[in-house]
């Protein structure tokens, strides 16, 4: 095949081309690497419509990480390998990825606890009905320390 010479978008390489329709308004790409080639073509003014990367938008990071990775990681790998059904789970950092993990763990366990230091994310986790593990005072009676002590590697430290 001869290389594409028309003002078109290159989909996979210079031999596989797509002619834009008259009513095309743009093209999007979900992968970070996949958007570089259309952007290079657009920079040369050879692409008759804009190219955007979906991951550049806040909605993508907020929802895709939290809900898209849920079942991929935990149900098929960790949950089945470790047989965690019904056990107590502790999720560190309730960020976008950790949030999806916590939701997934809650599907297989009645007890999912969250550790987080950002007060806004703590509020978000509480509104999502997750129990928080924290101690913000001088006493150890605000946290169920006795239930945490038997876990291997768990230590209490007074600061």
> If you ran DSSP here, which 8-state letter would residue 32 be given?
T
Range list of H helices, the chain: 36-43, 58-63, 70, 80-82, 96-108, 119-127, 145-148
- Do 73 and 138 lie in one domain? The reply is yes
How confident is the model over 149-155, as a mean pLDDT? Answer: 69
Domain count, the chain: 2
Structure tokens at 36: 């570089």
pLDDT of amino acid 8: 45
The pLDDT tens digits of the residues spanning 61-78 come to 666 666 666 666 555 677
- Do 104 and 33 lie in one domain? The reply is no
CB 27 within 8 A of CB 39: no
Indicate the range of 9-13, 32-36, 38-42, 51-55 predicted with least confidence. Answer: 9-13
Exposed, middle or buried by CB within 10 Å (0-12, 13-18, 19+), for 110? exposed
- Do 74 and 30 lie in one domain? The reply is no
Torsion 130-134-137-140 (CA) sign: positive
Torsion 67-72-73-77 (CA) sign: positive
Distance CA 157, CA 111 (A): 24
CATH at 85 = 3.40.50.720
- Please give the model's pTM, rounded to 2 decimal places: 0.48
The pLDDT tens digits of the residues spanning 95-117 come to 777 887 888 888 777 788 888 87
Distance CA 115, CA 131 (A): 9
pLDDT of amino acid 142: 57
Give the structural domain span for 91. 65-148
How confident is the model over 127-140, as a mean pLDDT? Answer: 72
- Do 83 and 51 lie in one domain? The reply is no
């Amino acid at each position: 095949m001869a290389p594409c010479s028309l003002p078109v978008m290159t989909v996979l390489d210079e031999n596989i081309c797509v002619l834009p329709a008259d009513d095309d308004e743009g093209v999007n790409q979900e992968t970070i690497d996949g958007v570089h080639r259309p952007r290079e073509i657009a920079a040369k003014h050879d692409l008759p419509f804009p190219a955007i990367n979906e991951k550049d938008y806040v909605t993508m990071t907020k929802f895709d990480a939290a809900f898209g990775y849920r079942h991929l990681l935990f149900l098929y790998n960790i949950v089945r390998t470790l047989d965690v059904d019904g056990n107590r789970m502790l999720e560190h950092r309730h960020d976008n990825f950790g949030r999806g993990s916590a939701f997934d763990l809650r599907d297989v366990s009645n007890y999912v606890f969250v550790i987080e230091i950002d007060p806004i994310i703590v509020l978000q986790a509480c509104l999502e009905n997750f129990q928080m593990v924290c101690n913000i005072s001088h006493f150890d009676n605000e946290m169920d320390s006795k239930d945490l002590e038997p876990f291997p590697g768990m230590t209490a430290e007074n600061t």
